Structure 1
């Protein structure tokens, strides 16, 4: 056994855990203090400086999973994204953003960049040539998201990273939908990796957190910005997140399998117009996804055009109609009213986000039970529609 090259479940379980030196417990102890001694110590600890014992330990786990030199934990995914972006951009700079990105990231760009004199442009698509077309002399950063939220578009990570390096541009990627179990962008040439740890890392719909992972040099810049913005995470949530991540690989692989089964089912359902899932051979970027992902993920989306969505959600018994994703329970949401509500209808249309689109996060239940739930909900809506 090569102890220096641990398996993914071993990393999830043991990397970055704290030893209970007092009572020899099996789990990491929790240090809740917000005030630590400053004299005669190697490290002056303070929560906003990301260096309490639990924070430091979890950062090591995050870095190991993303094959990065260092990582930092933040209070939310948007805290991680905004801090990372502002760590590398200043007045006069230009950033290229992928057209298909999370609505919160889009909103941050269009509302905050102008205040700081930062210019930006969105690509027309997500091919390397689309990014190349937007590069300007003052472009300092390229921002990707793959698979994207909510249409599961796939970006050529190697291709865009190679393009960026050729032009001396930093690359940044939102890796939330994939998780480090399914995709490690740093291995494909990306400089900075971002996560909403609220999702697959937390995995139980009870944690809000974010992650930035990169080289030590880049993370020093993120640290200096982060201590000013104050987006640190409280230690109890840090402890819960470290606990949750022990089972991340097991959960994500089960969700991968369930999403594949569900995509195949929905793809032949006469009430469904289109299914967006990179695991389907009909997905336009299926081969690209195969080449850069270890699994296709637990997320998909589909269009349900001729069924009243409000009634459909109301009659679901197992699937929960809620706003977030990636928990152990299966959930659905309407992107136009939640994740992408801050975008204009015109901009949503440019991305291909229709009112009939449903984003579907598969949990770890038996897929047959979830299929039965969907079928009974659609049947009830149809019956009510006919009666009306």
Structure 2
């Protein structure tokens, strides 16, 4: 992995005075007191940055997490949200208005696609889906009212890797905002802001927290744009609760241990799956036959992530049987936890897409998405072996 050692040395500690705990305390209060009206005025004027008013406006458990994230992403600022989709939706509302045109990757998480189609388009934003790695396609699809590009660093579920160098260059040359969902890659593999992204969004639920016990999101990037998202988050009520922030801070402290182990496991699992006769296709950026392998080798700092998608022979029926036979790997419609899980994109993450759109992208009834955990790799291989080879 790239050297992010400095990011794992906390430089922010909110505790002052005679009590100085080693770990950040959990602040559950919904509201904070002030000694005078002058103190309230100082809070609103911005001259008292360490004061808090009301939990929706901010709380002490946000600060350490925001500090960690902007350090990891090498960004000017960061803001937390109540979920990954809250981060995505608030970002779009902050950067777009009715009449604008959004140019989005066609390799898109189904929840984001549903938001674009069910909320953003009816609101008045025009949307075109295309291959953002293809400059000719970008030029063909660009319109006079295009304002933003939306990419996923590693796409869900077929794991196409975005050419952030080329996309970032196009955004800069055409004065466009670039938003990148960096959930699958994490800042351990790539930092989109360094490639020209305006904002990098995350589902904290996944690798950054890493233990399947938090729902949260984050937006990192330019201070001015992050502040726009922060104001919307406060107005919409989409802020992160103290307990979830506290848990995320704890999870972030082991990201540099968990994620490399998961990536190493994924490489071995992908090599096993690609040779199995019961598996028709394997989607993993580390495989030379993956459509964006060369891009991944150039863009990702080290490793190819911990997600694998593969298509079992026999379609939906065999996929169902495979999942039912798994003994150590649970079916769970999420990812990024320390334990391995599988999901079925047609039934879960990409359910909002039409059957034809899914087919066009290659999301089939036999497609399984595997989030590789940090278990001993032999345990994973053994479970996959017995599930793929019924007696």
Alignment TM-score, normalising by the size of structure 1: 0.93
Contact in 1 for aligned 2:285/2:293 (Cα 8 Å):
yes
Secondary structure of the residue aligned to 2:279 is coil
Q: Shift of the alpha carbon at 1:225? A: 1.6
> Which of the numbers 137, 147, 161 marks the counterpart of 1:154?
161
Q: Shift of the alpha carbon at 1:224? A: 2.0
More deviation in 306-315 or 345-354? 306-315
**Which structure 2 residues correspond to residues 79-118 of structure 1 after superposition, within 5 A?**
79-118=86-125
Aligned to 2:309: 301
Mapped partners of 2:16, 2:24: distance in 1? 6
Match status 1:354 vs 2:364: yes
Aligned to 1:26: 22
Mapped partners of 1:376, 1:300: distance in 2? 18
Q: Shift of the alpha carbon at 1:146? A: 2.1
**Which structure 2 residues correspond to residues 274-289 of structure 1 after superposition, within 5 A?**
274-289=281-296
Deviations 1:334-367 (A, max 9, x none): 0000110111111111221111110011000111
Aligned to 2:266: 259
More deviation in 208-217 or 370-379? 370-379
Provide the alpha-carbon RMSD of the alignment.
1.7
Q: Give the direction of change, closer, same or farther, for the CA distance of 1:125–1:351 in structure 2 (3 Å limit).
A: farther
How many residues of Structure 1 are paired with residues of Structure 2 in the alignment?
375
Aligned to 1:237: 244
Mapped partners of 2:308, 2:171: distance in 1? 29
Match status 1:324 vs 2:331: no
Q: Shift of the alpha carbon at 1:46? A: 2.1
Secondary structure of the residue aligned to 2:280 is coil
Secondary structure of the residue aligned to 2:298 is helix
Mapped partners of 1:194, 1:152: distance in 2? 17
Q: 5+ residue gaps in structure 2?
A: none
Mapped partners of 2:359, 2:366: distance in 1? 12
More deviation in 34-43 or 68-77? 34-43
Mapped partners of 1:315, 1:20: distance in 2? 54
More deviation in 79-88 or 55-64? 55-64
More deviation in 122-131 or 370-379? 122-131
Aligned to 2:70: 63
Aligned to 2:85: 78
Alignment TM-score, normalising by the size of structure 2: 0.92
> Which of the numbers 41, 46, 53 marks the counterpart of 2:54?
46
> Which of the numbers 225, 231, 236 marks the counterpart of 2:232?
225
Secondary structure of the residue aligned to 2:334 is coil
Aligned to 1:3: none
Q: Give the direction of change, closer, same or farther, for the CA distance of 1:236–1:20 in structure 2 (3 Å limit).
A: farther
Deviations 1:31-63 (A, max 9, x none): 1111112442623432222x2111122111111
Q: 5+ residue gaps in structure 1?
A: 1-5, 384-388
Contact in 2 for aligned 1:207/1:237 (Cα 8 Å):
yes
Q: Give the direction of change, closer, same or farther, for the CA distance of 1:140–1:369 in structure 2 (3 Å limit).
A: same
Deviations 1:59-112 (A, max 9, x none): 111111111100001110000000001101111111111000100000000111
Aligned to 1:203: 210
Secondary structure of the residue aligned to 2:63 is helix
Secondary structure of the residue aligned to 2:78 is strand
More deviation in 8-17 or 288-297? 8-17
Match status 1:315 vs 2:313: no
Q: Shift of the alpha carbon at 1:148? A: 0.2
Q: Shift of the alpha carbon at 1:7? A: 5.5
Mapped partners of 1:22, 1:208: distance in 2? 34
Match status 1:378 vs 2:388: yes
Q: Shift of the alpha carbon at 1:186? A: 0.8
Q: Shift of the alpha carbon at 1:124? A: 4.9
